[in-house]
C-alpha cells in the first residue's frame, strides 16, 4: 500500500486519519498539537517532524487545515510540503478554502511535478468519525482515479466535479445551503415554541414532508437538548461564508441571504459563541424572541 502523509489532526482530520489507519494504510502524521500526533501514533501511525518530513516519506499527502493561509503556509512555506515532495507526489487538500487559493497552490506545486486535488468535505465530525463524509473533488480525472479508493475510506461518496478549485466551489455552495437551512429551521422552531407548540412534535410532524432535510434531522435533536458542542464551529462557518461572498463578488453573483446569515453568525461570535456548533445559530433567534426551543 502507498504511504500516506496526513497533516492537520483537528476535529475533522483526526477521525479521518484514523479511518485510513483502520483501512490498513501506512500513515505518517503531523500537527502542531503534539497530543493529537501522539494519539494517532498510539493507533499505529508514524510521527512526522514537519510538513516537509511528512512529504519526504509519503507518496500521497493529505492536508486538513482551517483556511487558505494555513494551507499555503503548510504546503508552500518554509519546511513545507513542497520542500519535501518528489515529482509524482499527489497532494490532496481536504480543507475548505478559497477556490482561488487552491488554484494558486496547485500552480506552484505543478512547477516541480507535484499534482494537487482540492477535496473538501461535508458532514461534520459525526460523519468524519464513521467515514461517511461527502467529498467534493477538483482536479485531473486520472489523478482522481488513482486516489478515489483512498477517499472512500473517509467518505461514503467522492465526486469529481471539475478542474482544480471546483471542489471548493462546490463546498461553498454546500455551506450556503447548510447555513440557510439552519437559519430557516431556527426561525420556524422559535415561532412554533413562542406560539405555544411542543418543538418535538413539530419536528416529528414536518421532518417527513417537503421541509424535512438532513440538516433538520442532524441539528434539531441537539437544539432541543441544548447541546451546542461543536461538530462544526460557528467560526468555521463564518470563514466559509466569507470565502463564498469573496468568490461570488469576484464572479459577479450577489448573495443576499448568505450575507444576512453571515451577520447573524458574526453577532453570535461577538456574543462569545464562535466555538459552538453552527446549530447554535438558533440562539440568536431565541434571544430576540425571549424563548428557548428545548424539550
Set of cell numbers at residue 198: 411542543
HSE-up of residue 9 (Cα within 13 Å, Cβ side)? 26
Q: Is 171 in the active site?
A: yes
- Coil/strand/helix, residue 85: coil
Measured between alpha carbons, how far is residue 30 from residues 64, 107, 128, 235 in Å? 11, 24, 18, 23
The one-character DSSP state at 279 is G
Question: For residues 64 and 95, is the Cβ–Cβ distance under 8 A?
Answer: yes
Q: Answer yes or no: are the C-beta atoms of 80 and 73 closer than 8 Å.
A: yes
Write down the catalytic residue from 18, 52, 127, 171: 171
Grid coordinates standing for 282?
Answer: 438558533
Rg of the chain on CA atoms, in Å: 20
CA distance 286 to 71: 36
**Which run of H or E residues covers position 186?**
helix 166-194
Is residue 224 helix, strand or coil?
helix
Q: E-assigned strands of the chain?
A: 4-7, 27-30, 46-47, 60-63, 90-93, 115-118, 121-122, 133-138, 155-162
Cell numbers representing residue 276 in the block: 459552538
- DSSP at 233: B
Nearest-CA neighbor of 120 among 265, 240, 231?
Answer: 240
Query: Catalytic positions, please?
Result: 171
Amino acid at each position: 500500500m502507498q504511504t500516506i502523509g496526513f497533516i492537520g489532526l483537528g476535529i475533522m482530520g483526526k477521525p479521518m486519519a484514523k479511518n485510513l489507519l483502520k483501512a490498513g494504510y501506512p500513515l505518517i502524521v503531523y500537527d502542531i498539537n503534539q497530543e493529537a500526533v501522539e494519539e494517532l501514533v498510539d493507533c499505529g501511525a508514524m510521527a512526522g517532524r514537519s510538513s516537509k518530513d511528512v512529504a519526504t516519506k509519503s507518496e500521497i499527502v493529505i492536508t486538513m487545515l482551517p483556511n487558505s493561509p494555513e494551507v499555503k503556509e503548510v504546503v508552500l512555506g518554509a519546511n513545507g510540503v513542497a520542500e519535501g515532495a518528489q515529482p509524482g507526489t499527489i497532494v490532496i487538500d481536504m480543507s475548505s478554502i478559497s477556490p482561488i487559493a487552491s488554484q494558486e497552490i496547485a500552480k506552484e506545486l505543478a512547477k516541480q511535478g507535484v499534482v494537487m486535488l482540492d477535496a473538501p468535505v461535508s458532514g461534520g465530525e459525526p460523519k468524519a468519525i464513521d467515514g461517511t463524509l461527502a467529498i467534493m473533488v477538483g482536479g485531473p480525472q486520472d489523478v482522481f482515479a488513482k486516489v478515489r479508493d483512498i477517499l472512500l475510506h473517509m467518505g461514503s461518496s467522492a465526486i469529481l466535479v471539475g478542474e482544480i478549485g471546483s471542489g471548493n466551489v462546490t463546498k461553498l455552495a454546500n455551506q450556503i445551503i447548510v447555513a440557510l437551512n439552519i437559519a430557516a429551521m431556527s426561525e420556524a422552531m422559535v415561532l412554533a415554541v413562542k406560539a405555544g407548540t411542543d418543538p418535538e412534535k413539530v419536528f416529528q410532524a414536518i421532518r417527513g414532508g417537503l421541509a424535512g432535510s438532513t440538516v433538520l434531522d442532524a441539528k434539531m435533536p441537539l437544539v432541543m437538548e441544548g447541546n451546542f458542542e461543536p461538530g462544526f464551529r460557528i467560526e468555521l462557518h463564518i470563514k466559509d461564508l466569507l470565502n463564498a461572498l469573496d468568490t461570488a463578488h469576484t464572479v459577479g453573483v450577489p448573495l443576499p441571504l448568505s450575507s444576512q446569515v453571515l451577520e447573524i453568525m458574526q453577532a453570535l461570535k461577538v456574543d462569545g459563541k464562535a466555538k459552538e456548533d453552527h446549530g447554535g445559530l438558533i440562539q440568536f433567534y431565541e434571544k430576540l424572541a425571549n424563548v428557548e426551543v428545548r424539550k
